[in-house]
Amino acid sequence: MVLNEQTRESERQRIAQMVLELVKERGSEISYTLAMTESGLSRSRFEQLFEDYDDLFDTIAKTWLQPHMAVMEEVLATDLPPIRKMYEFFRRRFLINRDRFREDPEFFTIICEMGAANFERVRSYVDLADHYQCELIVQAQAEGFFAGLEIDETLSLINQMISNYTLPDAMIYLGDKLTEEKLARIIDTVFIGLSAEAGDGAAGVNTLRVAS
C-alpha cells in the first residue's frame, strides 16, 4: 500500500519519538533492526518509511532539534534591538539544552554521542543556524555594529566566543558554570568590542597582533 505524504510523515515522526524514548529507557543508541521490531510494523511497511538507518536518524534529529529551530525562527521574527535579539537567539536554545540535561543527564549525553557519531547527518541544522545568525549580523551592521568586518568573519568570531552555549556537549562538562547572566555579559562584550577598528571608548580593541 502506497502511503500518502501526510500519513508517511506522521508515521515517521511517531517512530522517531518512539526511538528517542527507547534510547532514554535502554541507555543506548537503537539500531535500525530494533527500531523496526519495536515499531510494530511489518518489514515492508517500515522500509517504506525509512530506507536505512541514515534515513531514520535524519527524522530522529529533526524531532530532537525541532524546538531549537522553532525558537530561532521566533527570535528572527521579533523587532528586538540587535543586542537583545542576538542574546535571545543563543539564550533560548541554551535553555532547551540546559533543561534537557538537568532532566536526564545520561539520556542527554547519549543523544550528544549519537549526534557526534552522525555529525554529517546534522550538519544541515548547523548550517541553518549559521544562516539565521548571519541575518542577525546583517541587521546589527545596519545599526553600526561590527564595523569593518565581513559577515562570514563576524559569524566565525561570534561562534568561537559563544561555542560553550551552542555546543550541547559543553553542558556535560561545564554544567551550572554556564548561566544566562554570563551569556548576557558575553553578548554585551561581543557588541562592544567586535570591530575591525577601535572606536570611541573601545580602548584595547584590535591592539593585539599575532606573533610572526
**How many helices (H) and strands (E) in the chain?**
10, 0
User: pLDDT tens across 158-209, in order?
Assistant: 999 999 999 999 999 999 999 999 999 999 999 998 887 655 544 444 454 5
Residue 197 is predicted with a pLDDT of: 65
The pLDDT of residue 98: 97
**Using CA atoms, how far apart are residues 109 and 117, in angstroms rounded to an integer?**
12
DSSP code at position 194 = -
Quickly name the fold that domain 5-193 has.
Tetracycline Repressor; domain 2 (1.10.357)
Q: What are the structural domain ranges in the chain?
A: 5-193
The Cα–Cα gap between 156 and 21 comes to 35
Residue 188 φ then ψ, to 5°: -55, -45
